[in-house]
Amino acid sequence: YNGDIMALRCPIVSVLGHVDHGKTSLLDRIRTTRVTTREAGGITQHIGASEIPIGTIKKVSKDLLNIFKADLSIPGILVIDTPGHEAFTSLRKRGGALADIAILVVDINEGFKPQTIEAINILKQCKTPFVVAANKLDKISGWNSINGPFITNFNEQKQHPNALTEFEIKLYENVIAPLNELGFEADVFSRVKDTTKTINVIPVSAMTGEGIPDLLIIIAGLAQKFLEQKLGLNVEGYAKGTVLEIKEEKGLGKTIDAIIYDGIAKAGDYIVIGNPDGVITSKVKALLKPKALDEMMDPRDKFKPSKQIVAATGVKISAPDLDMVIAGSPLRIVSKSEIESAKEEIVQEI
């Protein structure tokens, strides 16, 4: 809270793209944990959410803060990973719909694939702005990839003219031209003059860490800009969210993993959830939070009860009578006196 009329909430950033183009690895690089190695067959099967505090972003991107003159007042970003496998369209749609801004991950060597195009169509439908992370830059032959900013390393490649040529060709043929064909102007972020007209392409390598500072600073800056334009989102009213998953937890029974995109929830509040058979109401037993920078869906997480949570955030909700709840449903967390108006609101969303 900076004392302004409206404190900016944490923007929701969804990561979308074709299977194996490196979404989880990229997020993993940012989080510095090792989620990719824990996934069955290396395929993401559910949506996870990670909170990246603004302090982490500023630390990682410290060399670029002056260049981009980024005055960041958001508290951080909430990043939602989605699976690229073709079977998981509904999860991608949920991720796309929740997002304030998205990162479309494209393997710069492979280019556009069916789920890349599907992801763009979801983002178009939801009117979600996005940037493109052109990943696996390290696989460009002769490219000397480093753990650091792309813009400085790019200049170093002048000693490797063949690598530079291959980079420009792959960037154009595999990323920019396909975007142009779909009606988008796009260019490498350092050449973009008007970010409202041109899609920022950020070349990255999840393997070496190249371009991660650039990606973080661009996404935080753009997310903040778009949030400032969005009206009606605040961190003062009751909590609004979406059910991601219903999970059985040892000692807790059925719990809900949710993303709260607006407002505040307090322990002891009531939860109101949309359902095709009517609205479900229950009393919150606990609002549970994983530690920052942890993978929310990891079963090894130690959940900590919170007195209060503020959007945007991922939260595990423990409450009785959740048997009929289904993933994707809208939810509210409200005080007793607000239950009836929340029910009326929820009915509009089912």
Q: Which residues bind Mg ion (CB under 5 A)?
A: 23-24, 44
138 is in an annotated binding site: yes
206 forms part of the interface with ligand GTP (CB under 6 A): yes
- Alpha-carbon span 9 to 4, nearest angstrom: 12
**Among the listed residues 1, 6, 9, the one whose alpha carbon sits nearest the alpha carbon of residue 261:** 9
How far apart are CB 108 and ligand GTP at their closest, in Å?
Answer: 9
Q: Is 192 exposed, middle or buried (0-12, 13-18, 19+ CB in 10 A)?
A: middle
Residue of 44, 56, 116, 281 that binds ligand GTP (CB under 6 A): 44
106 is in an annotated binding site: no
> Which partner from the list Mg ion, Na ion, ligand GTP, none does 205 bind, CB cut-off 5 to 8 Å by kind?
ligand GTP
- Alpha-carbon span 210 to 146, nearest angstrom: 5
> Which partner from the list Na ion, Mg ion, ligand GTP, none does 56 bind, CB cut-off 5 to 8 Å by kind?
none
**Residue with structure tokens 């005055």?**
71
> Which partner from the list ligand GTP, Mg ion, Na ion, none does 85 bind, CB cut-off 5 to 8 Å by kind?
ligand GTP
How far apart are CB 168 and Mg ion at their closest, in Å?
Answer: 28
Give the count of beta carbons closer than 10 Å to the beta carbon of residue 191: 9
How far is CA 275 from each of CA 92, 196, 330, 336, rounded to the nearest angstrom?
Answer: 21, 38, 8, 20
82 is in an annotated binding site: yes
Closer by beta carbon to ligand GTP, 20 or else 257: 20
User: What residues between 250 and 309 interact with ligand GTP by CB under 6 A?
Assistant: none
User: What residues between 96 and 155 interact with ligand GTP by CB under 6 A?
Assistant: 135-136, 138-139
User: What residues between 34 and 73 interact with Na ion by CB under 5 A?
Assistant: 42-43
For ligand GTP, what does the binding mask look like between residues 148 and 187, x meaning CB under 6 A? ----------------------------------------
211 forms part of the interface with ligand GTP (CB under 6 A): no
Residue nearest to ligand GTP (CB): 84
- Alpha-carbon span 124 to 224, nearest angstrom: 20
Q: Output b/e per residue, 292-317; b: 16+ Cβ within 10 A.
A: eebbbbeeeeebeebeebbbbbbbbb
Question: How many residues sit close enough to ligand GTP to count as binding (CB under 6 A)?
Answer: 22
84 is in an annotated binding site: yes
161 forms part of the interface with Na ion (CB under 5 A): no
120, containing H or E segment: helix 114-126
Give the count of beta carbons closer than 10 Å to the beta carbon of residue 138: 18
Q: Are strands 253-262 and 313-318 parallel, antiparallel or unpaired?
A: antiparallel
Backbone angles phi, psi at 185, to 5 degrees: -80, 140
Enumerate binding residues for Na ion (CB under 5 A). 20, 42-43
Enumerate binding residues for ligand GTP (CB under 6 A). 17, 19-25, 36, 42-44, 83-85, 135-136, 138-139, 205-207
